[in-house]
DNA sequence: CATGAAATTCGTCAAAG
DNA sequence: CTTTGACGAATTTCATG
């Protein structure tokens, strides 16, 4: 459970530069990053580590092409619950987020309680997924499945101010 | 524009091992990865590069805590279009995916056309975001905004077979 | 294709301003 | 907090099996 910074941690120009450059190109080496920012390599490494220790940078993720892996079908499964007891919701969330095929699981406020972003082999596998991993939970009242044509990554958020 | 493999690229045990280990821990060094898989470092680096060249590994991403950056509110904005001409849809998608604050943009099949996953400063900023960046497009007919309580990453997909 | 060793590059640490 | 410089570690290249 990651502790969240109460306010926004105070970030200076260097911190913002690191987040901007590393956001654009997460594979930059520490040396290349330092050069771009005009600071010493040791300083750069120190700052990056600090951002990590402060919980600003939480980690890295590998992007894979699910189609190339044999899972060409992507979908969003909207999950609506019957009971909303905290116990039930937590348990279901834990189970879903461990289910192979689930890429992301959004817990949202609204008529639907969860949005599951999944990748599967084909339409049959999608049907089986919903039946075997979602509606099998008795707390699930209803589901609705949307085909995902495409997912694009946006720029996300940058620290305030900087260009 | 990443070319997608027509079928699933043929992946052997080593490839699957790389994807499994790197999926679990994307920050493994090449050396550590090679050791875990019981192969030479040079071989490991070669294989990883090949997976990348074949479009199986598409890149890496930096995970940041949007709250720590001063954007504590996350939402999914469901966007419904009036016109569905390919030209309009493409143009809107391009614009949205470049808008600061947008983390991901799903193009989906259903009553809604897009799901925008965004992070903003507060409720007011969320309202402004919708007005200034979404409904400002004349092709947008309707929006619906859902608060995101939490997003968890799932295990995603693994190549078939391997444990 | 995979390997090990050489050559290069990179990250880390201590000392100091 | 930042930098320099030196050390140790990791990545890449390449010749060989």
Tens of pLDDT, residue by residue over B74-125, are 999 999 999 889 999 999 999 999 999 999 999 999 999 999 999 999 999 9
Q: Provide the pLDDT for residue A7.
A: 54
Q: Tell me the mean pLDDT in the region A113-142.
A: 98
Percentage of chain A surpassing pLDDT 90? Answer: 89
- Does pLDDT of B10 surpass 80? yes
Q: Provide the pLDDT for residue B56.
A: 97
Q: Which one-letter DSSP state was computed for residue B132?
A: I
Q: Provide the pLDDT for residue B163.
A: 41
Question: Tokens representing A52?
Answer: 């990590």
Residue B2's CB: how many other CB atoms inside 10 A?
11
Which nucleotide, over all strands, has the C1' atom closest to the CA of A44?
Answer: D2
| CATH 3.30.465.10 applies to domain B13-54 | no
Return mean pLDDT, chain B.
93
pLDDT band (50, 70, 90) for residue A8: low
Residue of B nearest to A104 (CA): B153
Tell me the three state secondary structure of residue A56. coil
- Beta-strand relationship, B140-153 and B73-81: antiparallel
Closest Cβ–Cβ partner in B58, B148, B149 for A64: B58
Give Dmax over CA atoms of chain A in angstroms.
Answer: 57
Q: Provide the pLDDT for residue B8.
A: 63
Cβ separation A60–B64 shorter than 8 A: no
Which nucleotide, over all strands, has the C1' atom closest to the CA of B50?
Answer: C1
Which nucleotide, over all strands, has the C1' atom closest to the CA of A40?
Answer: D3
Indicate the domain borders of chain A. 13-54, 66-148
Cβ of A45 near strand D (under 7 Å)? The reply is: no
Is the pTM of the predicted complex or chain greater than 0.85?
yes
- Does pLDDT of A144 surpass 50? yes
- Does pLDDT of A159 surpass 60? yes
Assess A101–B contact: CB distance below 8 Å, yes or no. yes
Nucleotides of C under 7 A from a protein CB: 2-5, 9-14
Cβ contact A21:A33 at 8 Å: yes
Residues of A in contact with B96 (CB under 8 A): 154
Tens of pLDDT, residues A28-57: 999 999 999 999 999 999 999 999 999 999
Cβ contact B70:A8 at 8 Å: yes
pLDDT band (50, 70, 90) for residue A162: very low
Return mean pLDDT, chain A.
93
Tell me the three state secondary structure of residue B156. coil
| CATH 3.30.70.920 applies to domain A66-148 | yes
């Amino acid at each position: 459970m990651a502790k969240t910074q109460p306010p926004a941690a105070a970030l200076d120009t260097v911190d913002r530069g690191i987040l901007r450059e590393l956001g654009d190109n997460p594979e930059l080496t520490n040396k290349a990053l330092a050069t771009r920012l005009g600071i010493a390599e040791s300083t750069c490494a120190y700052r990056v580590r600090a951002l990590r220790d402060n919980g600003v940078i939480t980690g890295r993720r590998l992007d894979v092409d699910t189609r190339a892996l044999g899972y060409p079908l992507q979908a969003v499964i909207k999950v609506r619950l019957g009971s909303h007891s905290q116990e039930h919701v937590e348990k279901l969330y834990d189970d879903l987020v461990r289910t192979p095929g689930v890429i992301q699981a959004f817990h949202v406020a609204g008529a639907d309680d969860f949005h599951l972003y999944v990748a599967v082999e084909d339409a049959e596998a999608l049907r089986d997924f919903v039946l075997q991993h979602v509606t099998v939970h008795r707390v699930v009242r209803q589901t609705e499945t949307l085909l995902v044509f495409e997912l694009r990554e946006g720029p996300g958020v940058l620290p305030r101010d900087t260009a």
